[in-house]
Amino acid sequence: MSPPVGVVAVRLGKVCPVGDMYEVVLAMDIRADVTDDELAELLWHVGQGPQPERLTMGTDNFLGTRPLGDPNDPDCEWDTDEPAPVFDQRGVGWKIGGALVVELVRRQKPDGWSLTVRQEFHPDSFYQLRALLDWLGPHSVNANVGDIPFFVGYMRFYEEAEITPLVLLNGRIGLPEAIESHTPHWQGA
C-alpha cells in the first residue's frame, strides 16, 4: 500500500520524500567465478543472506554522515549511516504500482547465477545503486563478448512512461543521466 501524500519512505536507511522515486528493472546472468566474499555480499543485497563482515562491492563507500556537534570543531564526532542492502525490497510498490521483486537463483548451464530485480529508488540511494551496477557489469556472463550491446533492464521516473534502457557493453552497464547527475562525487573503479 502506498503511503499518504507527504509521508516519507525509509530507503537504504534514509528518510526520503516519496515523490522522487525511480523504477529500476534488471534481468541478467552472473558468472560463476565470483569470489565467496562477493557472493555473500550479493546474497545480502538481494535479501537472501546476512550482512557480511566485509563489503567488497563499494556500496558502503558513500554513506551519509552527520556531525554530532559543531562540524568546525576539530574534536567533533560524526555519525555515519549503516550500510543497507540495495535490492531487498519485496511486496507492493510505493509509487510505481505492481510488486517489488528480487530473485537470485543458481544456474546449471552455463554455471552461475540469474538475477531479476524490480525495485524503487530515491536519488539519495543512487550511490549505492551505482556501485552495485558497476560491480554487476564486469561479472555478467556477457561482459567480455566484444562490442555487442546487451539490454539488461531499464530505469524510469515513476511519473513518466518513457524508460531509459540499461545496456551492458564491454563489461559496463551504461548509467542513465539521472544516476550520473545525482552522484557528482563518484570516484568509482
Task: Return the pLDDT at 1.
Answer: 36
How far are the Cα atoms of 4, 15, 30, 122, 147 from residue 23, in angstroms, in the given order?
19, 18, 22, 9, 27
Q: Are 152 and 26 in contact (CB under 8 A)?
A: yes
Q: What is the pTM of this model?
A: 0.82
DSSP 123: G
Q: Are 178 and 155 in contact (CB under 8 A)?
A: yes
Whole-number Å distance between alpha carbons of 26 and 77: 39
Q: What is the pLDDT along the chain (189 residues), one digit of tens a residue?
A: 333 333 344 445 444 445 689 999 999 999 999 999 999 999 999 999 999 999 999 888 877 777 888 888 889 888 878 889 999 999 999 888 899 999 999 998 778 999 999 999 999 889 999 999 999 999 999 998 889 999 999 999 999 999 999 999 999 999 888 888 888 877 654
Q: Write the single-letter amino acid at 9.
A: A
Whole-number Å distance between alpha carbons of 81 and 133: 21
Q: Where are the domains of the chain?
A: 15-60+83-181
